[in-house]
Amino acid sequence: MSELTDLSISELQAGFRRGEFTPSDALRALEARISAVDPAIDAYLSRDFQTALAAAEKADINLPLGGVPIGIKDAINVLGESCTCSSKMLAGFKSPYDATVISKLRAAGAIPYGRLNMDEFAMGSSTENSAYKKTRNPWDTTRIPGGSSGGSAASVAAREAFATLGSDTGGSIRQPAALCGVVGLKPSYGRVSRYGLVAFASSLDQIGPIARTTKDCASILNVIAGKDSHDSTSLDLPSEDFTAKLGGDLKGVKLGVPKEYFVDGMNPQVRAQVEAAIKRCQELGAEIIEVSLPHTSYAVGVYYIIATAEASANLARFDGVRYGHRAKNPRDLLDHYMRSRDEGFGSEVKRRIILGTYVLSSGYYDAYYLRAQKVRTLIRQDFTNAFEKVDALICPTSPDAAFKIGERVDDPLRMYLADIFTIATNLAGICGISVPCGFVKEEDSHLPVGLQFLGKALDETRLLGIADAYERASGFTTQRPQTV
pLDDT in tens, 239-255: 999 999 999 999 999 99
CATH number at residue 55: 3.90.1300.10
Give the pLDDT of residue 434: 98
Task: Give the active site residue among 8, 73, 130, 456.
Answer: 73
Residue 135: inside a domain, yes or no? yes
94, 204, 264, 297, 355 from 309: Cα distances, Å: 27, 12, 30, 20, 7
**Residue ranges making up the domain that contains 424:** 2-255+388-478
Give the CA-trace dihedral at 386, 205, 151, 397, to 10 degrees. 10
Q: Is pTM, for the whole model, over 0.85? A: yes
What's the pLDDT at 41? 98
3-state helix, strand, coil in the chain (%, to 5): 40, 15, 40
Question: Is residue 333 situated within a structural domain?
Answer: no
- pLDDT for 411 equals 86
Give 297: exposed, middle or buried? Use CB within 10 Å, 0-12, 13-18, 19+: exposed
Whole-number pLDDT of residue 243 = 98
Compute the Cα dihedral for 327, 47, 228, 377 and give only its sign. Answer: positive
Is residue 310 one of the residues assigned to a domain? no
Asked whether residue 361 is assigned to any structural domain, the reply reads: no
Catalytic position from the list 148, 188, 219, 474: 148
**What is the C-alpha radius of gyration for the chain, rounded to an integer number of angstroms?**
21
Q: Tell me which of 87, 155, 172, 434 is the catalytic residue.
A: 172
Residue 226 has pLDDT above 70, yes or no: yes
Domains held by the chain: number: 1
Is 8 in the active site? Answer: no
pLDDT at residue 87 tops 80: yes
pLDDT level of residue 413 (50, 70, 90 thresholds)? confident
Angle at 156 between CA 150 and CA 160, to 5 degrees: 105
Within-domain flag for 435: yes
314 in a structural domain: no
Q: Is 148 a catalytic site residue?
A: yes
What residues pair up with 433 in beta bridges, in sequence order? 185, 453
Q: For residue 1, what pLDDT is reported?
A: 43
pLDDT higher than threshold 80 for residue 147: yes
- Are the CB atoms for 112 and 82 separated by under 8 Å? no
- Residue 291 belongs to some domain of the structure: no
* Contacting residues for 370 by C-beta, under 8 A, at least 6 apart: none
State the average pLDDT for the chain.
96
Q: Is 342 among the domain residues?
A: no
* Whether 441 is catalytic: no
Q: Which of 50-59, 115-124, 475-484 comes out lowest in average pLDDT?
A: 475-484
